[in-house]
Amino acid sequence: MQKVSILANDRVFVLTGAGVSAESGIQTFRDSDGLWAGYRIEDVCTPDAWEASPARVWDFYSARREAAFKAEPNPGHFALAELEQWLGERFFLCTQNVDDLHERAGSERLVHMHGELAMARCEDDCGQPPVSDRTIYKSLTAVGRCSCGARMRPHIVFFGEMPLEMGKIQREIDRSTLMMVIGTSGSVYPAANFVRWARQKGARTVYIGPEAPQNAESFSEIVLGKAGQVLPGLFQVEG
Ligand code: APR
């Protein structure tokens, strides 16, 4: 069985995508049975879509909430939480996923660069922080208002918006010596560039997933397989 060695002085940066939650029953985006086969991005996941129809956008994200809240973490999520237990602050997880399965598996040092399903925020970015919101909305009239009067929107990074926590992510990439990218097609930027940034700094770069991603040429190693099957037992921690 293929192993990824983690040396005593390694700092590990992990980037995950929809593939890591696939075995938990959450649809990916670009696989043949993925979400973007059934929806148009420009209808549900852009600032213009929100402008044109907040009801349609909330409908889409309410359905995502429903699916994510009933899902359970799979062995892939647990393997990453266990790796963090071993490595402590030498481990950092950046997920593109908006579900909370990493947290529910025990991961703590993580950022959600594309936002979180279980939160909402002011559509006008008035300065109020995002709030917890787990409602499955059936109609727009049920959606609350911010204290400034604007409508609350999903705490999701729409296409065309800046991902969250980029400063922290950049610092963690710069000091990592091993980057592992798991279950992402490598087609959405800037996340698809992280492997190149890490490689420029001299890090080893490993991809894990059932098929090679679009940015495959940037990886020093590719481990083919499903996250939930491959991740448990993949890491050999040497110090
Ligand atoms: N284990 C690991 N990887 C898997 C599994 C699995 N069990 N099943 C599928 N995959 C892989 C697919 O091979 C594919 O490369 O997961 C990847 C999913 O790719 P996408 O659907 O494009 O998802 P992702 O890369 O996370 O999308 C990035 O795009 O739509 C936006 O904001 C959304 O965060 C998302 C971003």
3-state SS record for 124-162: CCCCCCCEECCCCCCCHHHCCECCCCCEEEEEECCCCCC
Does the CB atom of residue 31 touch ligand 1 within 6 A?
A: yes
pLDDT at 39: 96
Nearest CA among 31, 4, 1, 24 for reference residue 76: 24
Q: Which CATH superfamily is domain 1-25+72-114+163-239 in?
A: TPP-binding domain (3.40.50.1220)
Q: Which of 23, 26, 30, 219 to mutate to test the pocket of ligand 1 (most atoms within 8 A of CB)?
A: 30
User: Could you write out the DSSP letters of every residue in 176-190?
Assistant: -SEEEEES--S-STT
- 114 included as an active-site residue: yes
Contact 207/217 with Cβ under 8 angstroms? Answer: no
| β-strands 12-16, 178-182 pairing | parallel
> Distance from the CA of 181 to the center of ligand 1, in angstroms?
11
pLDDT digits (tens, 9 = 90+) for 201-213: 999 999 999 999 9
pLDDT of res. 138: 95
Q: Is there an atom of ligand 1 within 6 Å of 164 CB?
A: no
Q: Is the dihedral of CA 155, 161, 167, 169 positive or negative?
A: positive
Which residues, given as ranges, of the chain have pLDDT below 50? Answer: none
Distance (Å, whole) CA 111 – CA 165: 7
pLDDT the model gives residue 239: 67
Given the CA of residue 226, which atom of ligand 1 is nearest to it?
Answer: 1
The predicted pLDDT at position 179 comes to 98
Does residue 100 sit in helix, strand or coil? Answer: coil
Q: Do domains 1-25+72-114+163-239 and 27-70+116-156 have the same CATH topology?
A: no
Using the mean position of ligand 1's atoms as its centre, give its distance from the Cα of residue 101 in Å.
15
Is the CB–ligand 1 distance for residue 163 below 6 Å?
no
The rounded distance, in Å, linking the Cα atoms of 209 and 227 is: 6
CA distances from 99 to 45, 47, 112, 223, 230 (A): 16, 21, 9, 24, 21
Q: Is the CB of 64 under 6 A from ligand 1?
A: no
Distance of CA 45 to the CA centre of its chain: 16
The residue whose C-alpha atom lies closest to atom 25 belonging to ligand 1 is 184
Find out whether the beta carbon of 115 lies less than 6 Å from any atom of ligand 1: no
Return the sign of the alpha-carbon dihedral for residues 74, 188, 130, 153: negative
Residue ranges with strand state E in the chain: 4-7, 12-16, 91-95, 110-112, 115-122, 131-132, 152-156, 178-182, 204-209, 221-224, 235-238
Locate the domains of the chain by residue range: 1-25+72-114+163-239, 27-70+116-156
Choose the CATH number for 27-70+116-156 among 3.10.20.310, 2.60.40.10, 3.30.470.10, 3.30.1600.10.
3.30.1600.10
Q: Is the CB of 185 under 6 A from ligand 1?
A: yes
Q: Tell me the three state secondary structure of residue 18.
A: coil
